[in-house]
Structures are given as C-alpha cells and as structure tokens.
Structure 1
Amino acid sequence: MSEPLFLEPVFKERIWGGTALRDRFGYRIPSDHTGECWAISGHPNGPSTVKNGEFAGKTLMELWEERRDLFGGMSGKGFPLLTKILDANADLSVQVHPDDAYANEHENGELGKTECWYIIDCKEDAQLVYGHHAKTKEEFVRLVEEGKWDSLLRKVPIHPGDFFYVPSGTIHALCEGTLVLETQQSSDTTYRVYDYDRTDAAGNKRELHLQKAIDVTTIPHRDAAVLPRTEEKPGVTITTFAKEAFFSVYKWDVKGTASFTQNKPFELASVLDGEGAMKADGKTYPLEKGMHFLLPSGFGHFELEGHLTLIISHP
C-alpha cells in the first residue's frame, strides 16, 4: 500500500488568461493573465512536483523515469496524461491538434493530442468552437484563405457540467468566460488556425500554422459521440463521460461516505468543489477544492467522505 501523491500545480500566463484560478480555487497565480493550471503533469514544459510522503520534491517526470512500478509498469517514454484547468478570460485561438503519427514525424517525436473538456463554469450564453462546416478540403482551404471564419467555424452553446470529447483533427476553441478542466494526452503541440488578428504588447501577431492545420484537420467534421452514464452507489453518484483509447474520464459526486478500489495502473483526481477527506490504510488525508492527486498502482481500497466533486481519469 502506498500513499496518494498530492501534486503542486504549475501555472502558465496566457494572452487570454485572467484571475479565475485564484478567485475560484485560491491558487497563488503569477499574474492577472494566468490562463492555465497544469495540475497533474509529467510533461517537460511544466512537470508537477509531489508535495507529500517519501517522494516529496520529486517531479512526476522523475518518478515516471525512476519508479515505473508506481504506474503499473506501463510502457512509453513519457507520462501519458496531462490534467489542466483553463481560464478563458478571452477567446482562445482556433486550433487543431495532430494525431500520434503526424506529431511523431513532424514534432520531434512528441505525442499527438486528443483531449476532452469538463465545463466547470461559464458565463450565460457562453459558446465554444467545435468543428467546422466545410464539406471538402478545397472548401476548407478556400474559407481559411478568404478569412470567412463565420462561415467556416461551428459554434455550440455550453453550460456548466457539459462534457466535450475533442479527438485529434478537431477544429476547436474555448471562448470568453469559460472555466474548464481538460484531460488530454501529454502533449504541448498545437496548430493555430486563427487568432482574431490579435497583437501582443509589441504589436506582433501570434504565429499561425496553417499548412500543418490543413494537413491534420478532419474534413468533413465528425462529432464525437458523448453519452454520459450515471450510476448511483452508496454515498456517491458516478458519471462516466468517456472510455476512449487514450483515457477514461469520470465525475464523482460524493455525499456522505463512499468506498472505492484503485485497481488501474494509476488514477488521477482533481477536487473541483467541496471538502472532505480520504481514508486509506489507517491514514486520513484532508481534501478541499483545488487539490490534485495521483493514486499509484496497487493503491487498493479507500474511502472518501464529505461533500466533494472530483474529476477522475486513468489511461
């Protein structure tokens, strides 16, 4: 039996970021333009650090290299998943991500990027960009070249609690006034298609990656089916959002005391709301919103108690 690994997040400033990560979760963010909390990360561009126990001070990247037994002996050169919380205080650029094969060939062996979003909160009438209206590659290229973004981009309304699965090849963008938990392949590869002609403080526009985007975009767009399933168990409501090739994602709404068994290679957990405790192996670990932790291989039986909303994922 090993301990849960509680993780210190890494924060990223972004042109579109704001203060919601501080306002909602109490995080000490670097500025009022903080867009990303890399909450559970083994990626070299921002690895999380363990805060407790025998591995305190180690990064998730180091543990993946040195202690593969903690992860069920999984193969692969890099930790496979990345959990983020994104504060879209302004519209994000319209993007598309490559699959593993394209990224491996064109991005120095980086993974591709399939991701998913759980909408923590959003303003009234919020939307996001999900897909496009082009029927052929020729139509897609023409609309991009002519800058006819209103004709090309498909916008969908969103509400707190919604879930979106975003496979590689899907044109997408979060829009202003959205707070999202993102579960994704551990990749930092993004092809920017359109950035609203924004400029930075020096008057420069951000780089676009149009040819790569054209190469990898799924045309015509296909909606990924999301059919959440809800299961009531003593003390907890479990919603299964996705069981896909790269990850499975669930929401646990705990009210009271609920029992679980961790029998996956590992599980990642983010506390989005509430407070309570985890009890395992005779020890009690306080939980509150904004905490993120990893349950290693062989963790076994544990209980959660209190009023808690968590997002759980595993490979």
Structure 2
Amino acid sequence: MEPLFLKPVFHEKMWGGRKLERFNYDLPAGDIGECWAISGHPHGRSEVENGEFAGQYIDDLWKNHSELFGHPEGKVFPLLTKILDAEASLSVQVHPDNEYAWKHEHELGKTECWYIIDAEPGSYLIYGHNAKNKQELDQMIESGDWDDLLRKVPVKTGDFFYVPSGTVHALNKGIMALETQQSSDTTYRLYDYDRVEKSTGKKRELHIQQSEDTITVPHKDPKLDIQTQIDGKNKFTTFVQPPISPYFSVYRWEIKEPATLKHNIGKYTLISVIDGSGKISVDGKDYDLKKGVHLIVPATIKEWTVDGSLDIIASESGEK
C-alpha cells in the first residue's frame, strides 16, 4: 500500500495574496487566500495524484474504500487541512458547534486550530472577547464597540492556537497559518471592517444573529498541554489531542535523522510538509517529500520511516 499524495485546491479571497507561491505551487491568478490541502469537503475536494487510486477524490475513497481509514463510523471525511495567507485581515467571525451546524447548515460544526507558519513583526490575532455575559455581548455588538469587545493577542512564528467552536477569532494582516479543522465551511461573520467587495461594490454579508446564537460567553482560553519529546536529533511536539480536542490531534515533527513512525491515537495520519525536503519510506519503497506536499498515510500502512531535513505538521482524527 502507498501513501496518498494529494493535489491542493486554491481559493481566491479578498484578503489573500501571493505568498503561497513560496510552497512552489502553481497558483491561479488573483489574490489567493486559501490552499485546501487535504479535504473531502464538496467546496474543495482533494484528488489523489499517485498509485492505484490516482484521479480519485478523498470523499469517494471514504465511501468506497473505508479500509483506508480503518472502517470509520462517520459519514464524511472529518478533517480539513488548509494553509491560509492573510495579506489583509480576515473578518471577525465565529463557527457553530455540531448541533447548531447540523440543524441550520446541514454539515459539521467547526472547531479548528492554527500553527503559525509565519508572522510579520507586530502581528496579532483576534482571539476571544471581553463581554462578561450574554446581555453585555449583545449590547456591545449592537453599538459596534469593537475596540472594547475584541481581544487582540500578539502572535509570532511557531505559535499554536486552538479555536473551539463558539470562539470569536480572526487571522490578521501579515500572518500565514496552517489550519487543521473539522470538515466544515460554515463561517458566521460578526464584523468585517466595513469592507466592500470589488465584484459587487457592496459590503459582505454579516451574520449577527447566528453569531450571537453561537458565541461562547464568557470567553475562556483553552488550557492546552503542549508536550515535546526529543529523540536523537528529532523533535516531536504534541500541540493538542483528545480529550482537550475531541475532533483531532495535531503534531509538529522536526526531522533531522531517520524516524520510524506509526499512527498514534487515530487510524490514519494527515501530513503536511511546511519546510525542507526528504523522503517517506513504506515497505522498502521511497517517496519524495518537499515543502508544500500533503499526503495521507492510510490505515493499511502500520509503520513508515521519514528521513531528511523536514518540518511537518501532522494530524489525526479524534473520532472513532
């Protein structure tokens, strides 16, 4: 069995730019804000580029070859990996939980997290809010008291943020992040700086009622238990995993010498190479790894070796 190498899908955004070219992608024209790297979502389906499943899509494999994912119970491929280029600030937004999303949007909720690949000096996130209760939240939104409502958090390259559903948040100008999330494309815009779409000449739609319905009040920062293990010249970091994060675990692998790996808590592993080059070896066969490559190591592969000089963000589904 081979690892499944995937073809990225790109999305133009009013806040995007051209920095994704640093991953050697052949970007389409325009301001590209999102690389959907590993996805079974209908808004950006990942196509397999190699082996016996070449030309097939992840969502189809999920339905028709469930052995690749350990015969999961879920109806949809549960995770989505993106790289985001915030040339300008994203809207201030919130995502619903599973219950609200299934009821109103007919898809999964959206808990997500960010590994900060790059942040320009002085960069910050919107992360959480200062309202003490629901009444105060609604009043501050109605009056547009954004400076007092929104929490600004300084950010630097290498930081990690866990963003549960219900969290007010936004990536701001000058940040590039790898995002691991539930497979959902539901976003409720709370505030968008009164920007106007070039194509329509109108302000983008806001979702004030949905935002008020889904924002967690009061905001509480998640208590993460980030752990690092040194193994020879290699460094392995666990950013988040169940039970803190019920939907996924996320890791950083900093590889300098051969490392033999296996699935940790999940049945299959998602891999994104954010820097460097090297190889992954499965059953005596080598496959090249380089910056910007994304792949899934399926459940049918129990053990593999990674070698080279590589910086990798990996993830696993927390769902059974």
Three-state SS of the structure 1 residue aligned to 2:256 is strand
Structural mapping, 1:39-118, within 5 Å: 39-108=37-106, 110-118=107-115
Give the match for residue 312 of structure 1.
314
* Counterparts of 1:298 and 1:265, CA distance in 2: 9
Three-state SS of the structure 2 residue aligned to 1:262 is coil
* Contact 1:235–1:258 (Cα < 8 Å) also in 2: no
Does residue 130 (structure 1) correspond to residue 127 (structure 2)? The answer is yes
Give 5+ residue unaligned stretches, structure 1. Answer: none
Give the drift of 1:282.
1.1
Give the drift of 1:298.
2.9
Structural mapping, 1:257-276, within 5 Å: 257-262=258-263, 264-276=266-278
Does residue 6 (structure 1) correspond to residue 8 (structure 2)? The answer is no
Structural mapping, 1:117-156, within 5 Å: 117-156=114-153
Give the drift of 1:284.
0.5
* Contact 2:240–2:251 (Cα < 8 Å) also in 1: yes
Encode CA deviations 1:30-77: one digit per residue, 9 max, x unaligned.
124000000000001110000000000001011011111100000111
* Counterparts of 1:161 and 1:118, CA distance in 2: 7
Encode CA deviations 1:237-282: one digit per residue, 9 max, x unaligned.
1000000200000000000211112363110000000001111101
Structural mapping, 1:258-297, within 5 Å: 258-262=259-263, 264-297=266-299
TM-score (norm. length: structure 1):
0.97
* Contact 1:5–1:50 (Cα < 8 Å) also in 2: yes
* Counterparts of 2:56 and 2:270, CA distance in 1: 17
Give the drift of 1:235.
4.2
* Counterparts of 1:268 and 1:234, CA distance in 2: 24
Give the drift of 1:196.
0.2
Structural mapping, 1:177-216, within 5 Å: 177-201=174-198, 202-216=200-214
The letter of the residue matching 2:292 is G
Give the drift of 1:234.
3.4
Point out the more displaced range, 115-124 or 298-307: 298-307
Does residue 19 (structure 1) correspond to residue 18 (structure 2)? The answer is yes
* Contact 1:234–1:258 (Cα < 8 Å) also in 2: no
Which residue of 169, 174, 178 corresponds with 1:172?
169
Three-state SS of the structure 2 residue aligned to 1:29 is coil
Give the match for residue 302 of structure 2.
300
TM-score (norm. length: structure 2):
0.96
Which residue of 33, 36, 42 corresponds with 1:35?
33
The letter of the residue matching 1:146 is S
* Counterparts of 1:301 and 1:170, CA distance in 2: 37
* Contact 2:91–2:192 (Cα < 8 Å) also in 1: yes
Q: CA RMSD in A?
A: 0.9
Give the match for residue 251 of structure 1.
252
Provide the identity percentage: 54
Encode CA deviations 1:199-228: one digit per residue, 9 max, x unaligned.
011311111110010001001101012231
